[in-house]
């Protein structure tokens, strides 16, 4: 059994140290506790230890756990979202991290309107490493997405998200983090309508310190809090 309280304290300490290295404080970094495959009881234990942001990568898992998890938390959808499933979670999630097409943005807008959700925060998922198997758009497509978002009423683009390949020397991953941070800053300075570059979601258990050092302000951490996942 994972000692969630101890692991959380450890992760928070590491966030604080990494944030200091980049001239910030721990409060500048939002910790999203990634709870996929874990039962509601474990999520509630984490909530008792102060966790307020919960990350799941599947619509189905959010639906299964939603009523069993304590209220007052913010659900983040961090995994790939199919357009036909937007309707199930539109009134449940605080933020969708994985928006990678104009079509998906439009469906989120449509369902938000239909369900009376006046604002839904989204992040644009960027595939910065160029890895073929990953979801996410190429950096060169970001402008098109931002342009499209200008006209939307409920959808609010509030940042970028990226996932990096796990198996790596680490040196090139640092460069990828650095490059997307620069992109994030560029967009912030351009001041697009309806775009508020508030969050840069990058960093997982294996690389969150490096991500924070390179400018991340939202990390998605699962294993380091809850232990290894059992997919059997």
Q: Which residues make up the interface to ligand PLP (CB under 6 A)?
A: 34, 36, 57, 78-79, 163, 204-206, 220-224
User: What angle in degrees, to the nearest 10, is found between the helix axes of 40-48 and 4-21?
Assistant: 60
* Contact by Cβ (8 Å): 197, 184: yes
> Which CB atom, from 107 or from 203, has the smaller least distance to ligand PLP?
203
Name the minimum Å distance from CB 36 to ligand PLP: 6
Instruction: Determine the residue with CB nearest ligand PLP.
Output: 222
- Report the nearest approach of ligand PLP to the CB of residue 95 (Å): 13
User: What's the min distance (Å) between Cβ of 175 and ligand PLP?
Assistant: 20
How far from the centroid of its chain's Cα atoms is residue 20's Cα? 22
Closest distance to ligand PLP from the beta carbon of 20 (Å): 21
Shortest Å, Cβ 193 to ligand PLP: 28
Q: CB of residue 219 vs ligand PLP: minimum separation in angstroms?
A: 8
Which residues in 139-149 are b (16+ Cβ under 10 Å) and which e? bebbeebbebb
Rounded CA gap, 226 and 41, in Å?
12
* Nearer residue to ligand PLP within complex by CB, 124 or 154: 124
Q: Which of 195, 221 has the CB closer to ligand PLP?
A: 221
Beta strand 53-56 pairing with 218-221: unpaired
Between CA 57 and CA 34 the distance in angstroms is: 8
CA pair distance 128, 135, nearest whole angstrom:
10
**Of residues 110 and 215, the one with the C-beta less far from ligand PLP:** 215
32 or 90: CB nearest ligand PLP: 32
Distance of alpha carbon 136 from alpha carbon 201, whole angstroms: 13
Closest CB to ligand PLP among residues 93, 221:
221
Please state whether 16 falls in left (phi above 0), alpha (psi between -120 and 50) or beta.
alpha
State how far the Cα of 59 lies from the Cα of 81, in Å rounded to an integer: 8
Which CB, 142 or 211, lies closer to ligand PLP?
211
* 170 CB neighbour count, 10 Å cutoff: 11
Q: How far is the CB of 172 from ligand PLP (least distance, A)?
A: 18
């Amino acid at each position: 059994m994972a000692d969630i309280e101890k692991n959380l304290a450890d992760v928070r300490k590491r966030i604080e140290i990494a944030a200091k290295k980049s001239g910030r404080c721990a409060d500048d970094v939002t910790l999203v506790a990634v709870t996929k495959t874990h039962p509601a009881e474990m999520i509630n234990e984490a909530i008792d230890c102060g966790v307020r942001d919960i990350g799941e990568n599947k619509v189905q898992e959010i639906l299964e756990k939603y009523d069993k998890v304590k209220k007052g938390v913010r659900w983040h959808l961090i995994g790939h979202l199919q357009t036909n499933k937007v309707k199930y979670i539109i009134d449940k999630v605080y933020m969708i991290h994985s928006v990678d097409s104009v079509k998906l943005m439009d469906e989120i807008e449509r369902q938000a309107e239909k369900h009376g959700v006046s604002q839904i925060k989204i992040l644009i998922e960027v595939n910065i490493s160029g890895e073929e198997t990953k979801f996410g758009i190429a950096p060169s497509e970001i402008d098109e997405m931002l342009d499209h978002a200008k006209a939307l009423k409920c959808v609010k683009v509030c940042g970028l998200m990226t996932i990096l390949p796990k198996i790596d020397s680490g040196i090139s991953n640092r460069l990828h983090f650095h490059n997307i941070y620069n992109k994030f800053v560029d967009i912030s300075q351009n001041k697009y309508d309806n775009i508020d570059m508030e969050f840069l979601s990058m960093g997982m258990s294996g690389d969150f310190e490096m991500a924070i050092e390179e400018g991340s302000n939202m990390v998605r951490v699962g294993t380091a809090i809850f232990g290894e996942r059992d997919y059997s």
